[in-house]
Structures are given as C-alpha cells and as structure tokens.
Chain A
Amino acid sequence: MTVAKDAINQYIPHRAPFVMIDNLVSASQERFETDFYITADNLLVADGFFQESGLLENIAQTCAASFGYLDQQAGGAPKIGFIGAITKVEIHELPPVHSTIKTVVTPLHQLGNISLVQGESFLEGRILLGCEMKIVVTE
C-alpha cells in the first residue's frame, strides 16, 4: 500500500463526503492504482449503483492522489488539478453498493501542465468504465 485511506486527504483537495477513493495502492510515472469501497450512503449512488459520474470522479481523484504522491516523492508539495476534458468514455457496467472497485490510470502524454491519461475501473476483473481524461495541474 502506497497511501492508506486514513492518509489519502494529504494528497487530494477533496473532503468527505466527496472523497471517491480509499487507498492509493501504487503510483509510478507509468501507472496509478486505487481501490474504493462503495457505501450505500455515497452521494453518487442511485438505485443501489455507483453512477457513471462517480466512476469518472473516482478516476480523476486517482490522478489527483497519484500526482500529489509523486510530487511529494520528488520533494515538492501536491498541486491542485482539475478535469480539462473527458473523451472516449465507454461504460460497461455500474458497480453495486457494498462492492470494492479497482481503478487503474495510465499516463499517456504530458504537455506542460496538462496530462492526458487513460483511466479504467474494474470490479472483480470486469471492466466497468474506460475513458481518456485531460488533467490540468495548476502551476
């Protein structure tokens, strides 16, 4: 475990009840991974399922936590990032409450303060949602 749930808010600006990741499982320049247990009272749950918006936010927060962690490892402070664009969204399945999803993000390109990443979330090995996201990090 790279960053456990109880320390994750050192790396992301989000606060409860809008924290949509639990543990930062691993983070390198090539790959980020988080997990997230979906509670029944999650703000982005509807009709017993974590919604598309939640899965996208989960991918964005996976990026935020990983960039923050890598910044800190490099001796800097975590920076604030925001979603610039979301493209190539493919939704396969929504996870039910009381399940734990795994999210994997692969950085594809970086140009200045903008990173293009591919994000995918999984439940028990099945892909839930995939997309590309442009993350803009404040200077």
Chain B
Amino acid sequence: MQANDVKMSWEEVIEDTRDFLSEEFEVDRNMILPENSLKDTLDLDSLDYVDLVVLIEENLNIKITGEDFKEIVTFGDFYKLVRQKLNL
C-alpha cells in the first residue's frame, strides 16, 4: 500500500517510513526519532541520498528533490516535508 494510493493515517505513514528506512539502511528503527539527524542516523553519503529518493518514491509515491533536502536536518524535518507532499 502506498500513502497516496489509499489514504493512510499520518501515524501509519510514520510507522511505515520507519520500517522501510530501518530495513534499507540497516539501522535500529528505534533510532529513527523526530529529534535525530537523518544524515547521521542513516549514515548517508551523497550517493545514498539517491537511494533515499528512490525509496521514498516507491514507498510513499511522492517525489523529493535536491532542493527539498536542503531544509532537512532531522527526521522531524523530513516528516514535515512528507506530510506537506502528501497533503495530510
């Protein structure tokens, strides 16, 4: 199920996002908290951001650009952007 195909609750979107990020980047999902750094927690280098964009598009059916990432430091920032894009 993708967020834009069937309306999911915001809580479901967050939990799904934590699941696919923890699986793809092999991190403890309990580390994926709003106050934690997206880059440091997922140990992202510049190439990994491309994987992240693909993952977001596949799982949430939304497009994230390089410009969008300039505003993102924490998972909280990331969730805020996702929420805007999903109109939730």
Contact = CB atoms under 8 A, between A and B. Distances in A.
Interface stretch (B18-26, B32-40, B42-50, B77-85): B42-50
Interface of B: 46-47, 49-50, 53-54, 57, 65-66, 69
A108 to B, nearest CB: 7
A134 B54 CA distance: 12
Interface residues of A, number: 10
Contacts of A136: 46-47
Interface in A91-125: 108-109, 111-112, 114, 116
A85 B54 contact: no
B61 to A, nearest CB: 14
A108 B55 CA distance: 12
Contacts of B54: 108-109, 116
B53 A112 contact: no
A84 B66 CA distance: 17
Contacts of A134: 47, 50
6 A-B pairs with the lowest CB-CB distances in the bound complex, closest first: A112-B66, A84-B47, A111-B50, A116-B50, A111-B66, A85-B47
A109 B57 CA distance: 10
